[in-house]
Structure formats: structure tokens, C-alpha cells
Amino acid sequence: MGDLAGPPVISTAGLTKHYGTVHALTDLTVEVGAGVTGLVGANGAGKSTLIKILLGLLEPTSGRASVLGHDIEHDSHDIRRLVGYMPEHDCLPPDTSASDFVVHMARMSGLGASAARERAADVLRHVGLEEERYRPMGGYSTGMKQRAKLAQALVHDPRLVFLDEPTNGLDPAARTDMLRLVQRIGTDFGIAVLVTSHLLGELERVSDHVIVLDGGHLLRSSATGDFLRRTGRMLVEVVGTETERDRLGQALAQRGLTCRPRGTMVAIDPPASDVAVHDLVRDLAAELGLGLMRLEPDRGHLEDVFMEGAPRA
Ligand SMILES: Nc1ncnc2c1ncn2[C@@H]1O[C@H](COP(=O)(O)OP(=O)(O)O)[C@@H](O)[C@H]1O
Ligand SMILES: [Mg+2]
């Protein structure tokens, strides 16, 4: 989509950060464009360090970076005006309501009293904290706290937001909701997003572009579609249980295709000869009286990048 269209939103050159003997970031040169960019890597990979450097909260050991055309060394004031930040750790005063907190953050960014109240109410509604916004945040669930953190990052109408592990501590349903929100920030509001996760596969659905860090080094940076390159394999799922799955698998094997069960599905290797796998599956399913639930290319996953990448000690 908007991948690297126009000038980069973020650009780094040889960015390096040492904490004493710990090499948190090593010679990182990377560009981030418009849209949603996923920054993934295991715990300790350097994701939060990178964000803090870009915000001017930490000084790099060496290297340069710019955010929205502003140099991090000289213009961190401008950067913080244009950028929203959802920190990784809890930063919410427990005795304060989300409404008061977000209004306060809006006032801090320079909005007048009534504009701040209006803007806070809007943004709290967008993140789904309408009902609970007058309650003290100390009593919030993790999901509600994450939403309040997200709201304060958006309240001053930034052009770019850094979301550091927004799904941390959430159950699967809340995780999906949060990821949907992240995607909407990019698509509906046109705000560039840099979002981190230590769960490698989590961001592939919502990111236009993915940057992978490994032990402070850049492992890869590419459009999400390039990660999920076609493997040539097809995945088929039929209505029923393992019995139905295996009936289809055996019938495909009889026609000379190599296939194996994969969970509730059958994975079919690319055929050696010029067989139309799509048509064959459809015809066989009809012949066997099996209902087809899905038939799609097996696109692989982001985790595979790590399997392929040379593991470092
Ligand atoms: N203030 C600090 N002092 C010393 N080491 C730190 C500090 N902050 C982070 N580190 C170390 O730097 C590395 C990168 O950390 P971090 O940027 O927090 O990674 P991530 O956010 O990807 O989990 C880790 O080895 C971490 O232990
Ligand atoms: Mg972190």
C-alpha cells in the first residue's frame, strides 16, 4: 500500500546503542514509510531502545536518525509534538480517570480546555473506552489500560505513533480487538504507525511493512507480502473430521500429488507436472461428496524468517 511512498517517515543510519557492555542496537540503517510498520523481534532485540532513541528520550552511542524530516539530535521537541507514544510499561496514575488523564495529556500538548475535553472524549470513544472513562484507572483490566495508553498517544492528533507492545498481557480476543484498532489508526486516520511485538507472527495481518530485529541487528526489512511469499503449496479444508480430510488426501495421492495432513487441513505440494490443482481438488471433492471449506495458497509465516535466518549465538 503506502509502502515507502513519499519521503521516509523514519530514517536511521548506523544507529548504535550500548548500555555499558550490552549492545542493544548495532549499526541499524533502516527506513520506515507511511502506513503500518511492524517492528518485531524477541525480548531484548532492541525494539524499545530504538523507539526511545527516535523520541529523543535516549541518546544513541553513535549514528543518526530523523523522524518526519526532523533530526533526532537537534529537533526532538518538534518530533514529540508530531509523534504519539504508547509506552510498553504501565504509565497510568491509578487514582485518575481515563477522561481526566487524557484531557490532561491534551492540555500538555497545548490544546485549550474545551478543545482538550472534546478531543479526549472523541479519542476515548475511538479506542472503545466510552463507558468506563470516568472510573479511576487503577481498577481497569489490562485491556482497558492498554486502551487508555493508546488514547493518550493519539489525543494531540499526531502524524506518527509509536506503539510499544500494545497487545502485551491481553487474552486472544482482546489482542484481536487491539490489532484491529492499530490497523484502523493507519487506514482510517491516515496516521503512520510503528508497532512492536515480541510475538513474531502477530503483526503480519495488520502491517504493510515488517522490520525484524535480532539481538540489536537488522535481520530483515520488507513489505509484508514479500515475507509471506508463496510457497507453491496449497491448503485444503473439507467439511467433517479427520476421516473426511484423509479421504481427500488419499484421493489426491492416487492422482500423483504429494500431500500431508496439516491440522484440520491437507497441504498439497506443488505438482511436478502441469496439473491444475484447483480444478482437481474441486472435482475430487464433488466426486467424494465432500464439502470444500477452503482452498488457498499456503503463504508461510513470519516465523519462517527466523528459521531461515542464520541463528547467532
Ligand atoms: N537501561 C538499560 N540498561 C542496561 N541495559 C538495558 C537497558 N534497557 C535495555 N537494556 C538491554 O538492551 C537490550 C535491548 O532491550 P530493549 O530495547 O528493551 O529490547 P526489546 O524492547 O526488544 O525487548 C536488552 O539486552 C536489554 O536488557
Ligand atoms: Mg520492549
| Residue entry with cell 479506542 | 127
> Residue 253 sits in which domain range?
234-297
Same domain, 27 and 81: yes
In angstroms, what is the span from residue 45 Cα to ligand 2's centroid?
A: 8
Same domain, 166 and 293: no
Quick count: other Cβ atoms within 10 Å of Cβ 240? 15
Same domain, 195 and 50: yes
Helix (H) or strand (E) holding 242: helix 242-254
The torsion angles phi and psi of 249, rounded to 5 degrees, stand at -55, -45
Same domain, 143 and 162: yes
Number of domains in the chain: 2
pLDDT along the chain (313 residues), means of 10: 67 97 97 95 96 96 97 93 94 95 94 96 94 95 96 96 96 92 91 92 87 93 74 85 94 92 88 79 93 80 56 37
User: Rounded to an integer, what distance in angstroms lies between the CA atom of residue 232 and that of residue 93?
Assistant: 52
**pLDDT of res. 182:** 96
**pLDDT of res. 225:** 75
Asked if 206 contacts 40 with a C-beta cutoff of 8 angstroms, the reply is no
Residue 49 Cα: closest atom of ligand 1:
17
In angstroms, what is the span from residue 292 Cα to ligand 1's centroid?
A: 48
34 part of a folded domain = yes
Written as one letter, the residue type at 108 is M
**pLDDT of res. 2:** 44
**pLDDT of res. 300:** 64
Asked if 40 contacts 302 with a C-beta cutoff of 8 angstroms, the reply is yes
Same domain, 85 and 70: yes
**pLDDT of res. 308:** 52
Q: Which of 251, 241, 217 is nearest to 291 (CA)?
A: 241
Ligand 1, atom 8: closest residue by C-alpha = 49
48 lines ligand 1 (CB under 6 A): yes
As beta bridge partners, residue 217 has 214
Residue 41 Cα: closest atom of ligand 1:
22
Ligand 1, atom 12: closest residue by C-alpha = 24
